[in-house]
Structure 1
Amino acid sequence: MSLLFVSDLHLDAARPATTQAFLQLLDGEARAAEALYILGDLFEAWVGDDDPGEPGASVCAALKALSAGGVPVFLMRGNRDFLYGQRMAERCGATLLPDPCVVSLHGVPTLLMHGDLLCTDDAAYQAFRRQVRDPAWQQGFLAQPLAARQAFAAQARAASREHQQGAAEAIMDVTPAAVIETMARHGVSRLIHGHTHRPAIHSLRVDERPAQRIVLGDWYDQGSLLRVGPDGLVLETLAVPGTPAADRA
């Protein structure tokens, strides 16, 4: 059996094919997994645990069924779904993970992160992140009517797209020095994260020792799945029927 890792699915009612592909994973391979880790941005937006809409309702129900079947589910907040609360975790039968956190994967201490904290060259984003992660800001935001929160989320997504289009590509990726410093501070030689939508397995050196950084891909045109077993790991691309990538295959 393997531990499964995904990130950046950005599930949204406008992209039902991606939601269906994830639900098939939950009802298929994931049922035989040791555990499922979702490292942030499961949804395109999450404006509060009181939102009863789709695809949140269906996905949370499927995750809870997976957990009830004996497969532990772990959720980490991303930059799109940072408002997860304990109510959300209970709906999914999941455990919320802090970002960052160190877990032992088949005896290997591994740092798990969403990844946005590593993009330190993007000063504008880091300032926004500090603002929306402030408990007082979140309390005020969650006190607003659901419709107002949904409108804010739509505006924030539009602003994010504009920022990404205007920013240099290097700024949108992790800062190498931040990666090394973070791994050294946590005393690990392996890091798994998402956020940048650049799936790859990188070799580097931390404190003069060989190290590894695994980047999970997004689920826009195709899926991305990391399997970690006792004999190693495999990062795989998954076809999502109904997406442009699948149509080109």
Structure 2
Amino acid sequence: MHKTFFISDLHLTPSRPDITACFLHFMRYEAIHCDALYVLGDLFDFWVGDDDNSPFAKQVRAAFQALTSSGVPCYFIQGNRDFLLGKRFARQTGVTLLPEEHVIELYGRKAVILHGDTLCTADVSYQAFRKKVHQPWLQFIFNRLPMVLKRKIVSRIQSDIRSDKQTKQLEIMDVTPYEVVQVMHKHQVDLMIHGHTHRPNIHHDEVHQQTRIVLGDWYEQGSVLVVTPDDYALEHRDFTL
């Protein structure tokens, strides 16, 4: 049976072995049988750089390498937690890095896929932060810092992100409807798939005749969008294997 998988917002970290175990099981026993796997950002709670050679990082890389070596294509769009994941990771794992907005053909239907953070235009402070950290010169400098220093900086950033979220209204951190319509119009598609907001749902816009599928996070259970030639569904995966 033909099927394509989409996942995002796993936020993998050594401190959550239950999430990692579910992910590895998914890769080994489910993704191996799909037509393609799309990872739409925030695979990691924070990716400090492709030079991370910790046992945890090696374990995740090995899972992707095993999948792509088996012949299953895997595509990756960077999120706001793994924007430093780059060409070295791609070479080591066989995954294909995609731009922040990308149009695919999904069993005869075109869809635009993205992480989703660029749709949240009302979150002005986040968009300013995003613009800053995506500057090539800043990433160039950060990637050349010692791993110990990079981890300290990341720890501070994570703390700031948690504090910032606590003071924001939920509506501000969700997508801007106008931006969704504009992006779909720009790419001439009626289907959008994204993550980031942690609000899994399938939205049908009757006015614009558009469908937007929001992927779920992996905090309490795994979340996978399964697309077949005839249908699509958001499915859960239990952490207790």
TM class, shorter-chain normalised? Answer: over 0.9
Partner SS for 2:171: helix
The Cα shift of 1:185 comes to 1.2
51-60 or 74-83, which moves further after superposition?
Answer: 51-60
Contact 1:19 1:55 in 2 (8 A): no
Contact 2:123 2:173 in 1 (8 A): yes
Q: Given residue 44 of structure 2, which amino acid in structure 1 is its aligned partner?
A: F
CA distance in 1 between partners of 2:31 and 2:58 (Å) = 19
Q: Give the match for residue 45 of structure 1.
A: 46
Alignment of structure 1 residues 50-199 onto 2, 5 Å: 50-199=51-200
Contact 2:22 2:237 in 1 (8 A): no
The Cα shift of 1:55 comes to 2.3
Contact 2:192 2:213 in 1 (8 A): yes
The Cα shift of 1:70 comes to 0.8
CA distance in 2 between partners of 1:135 and 1:79 (Å) = 15
Contact 2:46 2:81 in 1 (8 A): yes
Q: Given residue 56 of structure 2, which amino acid in structure 1 is its aligned partner?
A: P
Q: Given residue 102 of structure 1, which amino acid in structure 2 is its aligned partner?
A: V
The Cα shift of 1:59 comes to 1.1
Partner SS for 1:31: helix
Residue by residue over 1:65-97, the C-alpha shift from the partner in whole angstroms, topping out at 9 and shown as x without a partner, is 111101001111000000011110112210001
Q: Give the match for residue 32 of structure 2.
A: 31
Partner SS for 1:172: coil
The Cα shift of 1:188 comes to 0.8
Q: Given residue 237 of structure 1, which amino acid in structure 2 is its aligned partner?
A: H
The Cα shift of 1:241 comes to 1.9
Kindly report the root-mean-square deviation, in angstroms, between the aligned alpha carbons of the 2 structures: 1.1
Q: Given residue 236 of structure 1, which amino acid in structure 2 is its aligned partner?
A: E
CA distance in 1 between partners of 2:182 and 2:42 (Å) = 24
Q: Given residue 231 of structure 2, which amino acid in structure 1 is its aligned partner?
A: G
Task: Extract structure 1 runs of 4+ deviating beyond 3 A.
Answer: none
CA distance in 2 between partners of 1:83 and 1:54 (Å) = 19
The Cα shift of 1:221 comes to 0.8
The Cα shift of 1:54 comes to 3.8
Residue by residue over 1:111-154, the C-alpha shift from the partner in whole angstroms, topping out at 9 and shown as x without a partner, is 00000000000000000000001101111111211111111111
CA distance in 2 between partners of 1:54 and 1:167 (Å) = 35
CA distance in 1 between partners of 2:110 and 2:50 (Å) = 32
CA distance in 1 between partners of 2:145 and 2:4 (Å) = 38
Q: Give the match for residue 17 of structure 1.
A: 18
Aligned length: 240
The Cα shift of 1:47 comes to 1.1
Aligned sequence identity (%): 45
CA distance in 2 between partners of 1:14 and 1:87 (Å) = 25
TM-score (norm 2): 0.97
TM-score (norm 1): 0.94
Partner SS for 1:25: helix
Gaps of 5+ in 1: 243-249
CA distance in 1 between partners of 2:64 and 2:185 (Å) = 34
The Cα shift of 1:209 comes to 3.9
Q: Give the match for residue 216 of structure 2.
A: 217
